[in-house]
Amino acid sequence: MRTFQLAWRNIWRNRRRTLVTVGAMTIALVCTTLYGAMVQGYLATLERDALDAEMGVAQVFAPGYQERPSIYAVIPDADALVARLDAAGMTACARLLGGGLVAAGESSAGAQFRGIDVQRDAAVLVVSRGVVDGAWLDEADPAGVVLGRRLAHTLGVKPGDELVLLSQATDGSIANQLATVRGVLASVGEATDRAGVFLTARAFREFFALEQGAHQVIVKRPDVVDLPALEARITAAAPGQQVLTWRRLMPTVATMIDSVRGLVAFMFFIVNVAIAIVILNAMLMAVFERIREFGILKALGVGPLEVLRLIYAESLFQVVIALGASLVLETPLLVLLSARGLDMSSLAGVSAVGITMASRWYAVVGVSTFTGPAAMMFFVVAAAVLYPAAKAAVIDPVEAMRHA
């Protein structure tokens, strides 16, 4: 049978209804595609901001450090581990961590000291680019430190001011040292903002009298993240050490991202249910007003499957037209939103679950941006058309031909 020819002509018999149906499908496709791209962009930004500043995609610790942080719990061969990770195609850096106090004048506050390899750290993390006042660390200035935003505010210091660092060294002595504020960071994350004190690894080792090892090895987030595979590769390179992915280190953020994805799926579902109702109604009308014709087709020996195929072909044409129209409408918007983004400066710097909001929100466009909503539309239409199509397919020809 000339199924596609018949279907194509049939859909233009009632232009208005077809245009309304195609219009509804187009709007749904445009909305879900734009929404999906923006949410993907939001999640990508969230994930990037959460991971790239100081988290990385995964971290390695000496066994027990995470449960009970201690200056003595070090990865003894941290440099060798970093070299092994490099050899395995990853980029990593080692950090030294310790707690203590920092004071300036009459003010003092708890501090988290972070000793870093300046060059290596900058290759893995972007925290060094977050200095808003002063400058980042310099190996040539071992007395210089960089502070988190709120800590600097609490102490009332600015670049050039003097600080006193205080802690307990690994040899049991009181560690104290004068330091100079080199820079103050923008908002990076809750912990760093409140207590972060960055100093060079050499200065850290001298301050804490720690000659060997590191407390933390951070692995850079690759462009494409296959977390389980990555975890397995890191574990293989770090035998006997504890490997934690960012999802385990920041379960709240991971849950939030999963929740947003769930919310997106739910929104898609709601939009598509509405579309399904429109299509079901349109196709029921289309079937009932042609009931006599289906009777004729059945009388002439056209089988139920062919009738089913005819009605599905009519719906297929409408979906394809809607897909074309939606591509024309949404492509310029997606280009704009992915290039220029949405201005979110009113939320910039606001921290939520340890992550600071970015000032612009960009759309992320990939193949799935289009295939996801399109596949959903095909599925919804297929489900919505099933009832009217089945009704037409099993129609009794004699009864049907009695219809005027």
Taking residues 5 to 24 in sequence order and writing x for each that binds another protein by CB under 8 A, - otherwise, the string is xx--xx--x-----------
Among the listed residues 77, 79, 161, 306, the single contact to another protein using CB under 8 A:
306
Smallest distance, Å, CB 289 to another protein?
12
Among the listed residues 131, 214, 219, 297, the single contact to another protein using CB under 8 A:
297
Among the listed residues 99, 341, 349, 397, the single contact to another protein using CB under 8 A:
397
CA atoms of 209 and 111, how far apart (whole Å): 18
Number of residues located near another protein, criterion CB under 8 A: 22
Smallest distance, Å, CB 6 to another protein?
6
Smallest distance, Å, CB 316 to another protein?
17
Stretch that binds another protein, among 199-207, 250-258, 295-303, 355-363 (CB under 8 A): 295-303
To the nearest 10 degrees (0 to 180), the angle between helices 291-299 and 304-339 is 130
Backbone φ, ψ for residue 58 (5° rounding): -160, 160
Instruction: Give all strands (DSSP E) within 86-241, no chain letters.
Output: 92-104, 107-116, 131-134, 144-147, 162-168, 174-185, 196-200, 216-219
Q: Is 261 in the site for another protein (CB under 8 A)?
A: no
Q: Is 1 in the site for another protein (CB under 8 A)?
A: yes
Question: Dihedral sign, CA of 234, 238, 240, 245?
Answer: negative
- Evaluate whether 254 touches 246 at the Cβ level (below 8 Å): yes
Helix (H, G, I), strand (E, B) or coil at 171: coil
Among the listed residues 300, 332, 339, 346, the single contact to another protein using CB under 8 A:
300
At position 263, the amino acid (one-letter code) is L
DSSP string, 340-368: T-EE-TTTTT-EETTEEPPSEE-----HH
75 versus 302: smaller Cβ distance to another protein: 302
CA atoms of 340 and 214, how far apart (whole Å): 41
Smallest distance, Å, CB 312 to another protein?
17
Q: Is 288 in the site for another protein (CB under 8 A)?
A: no
Interacting residues toward another protein by CB under 8 A = 1-2, 5-6, 9-10, 13, 292-293, 296-304, 306, 397-398, 401
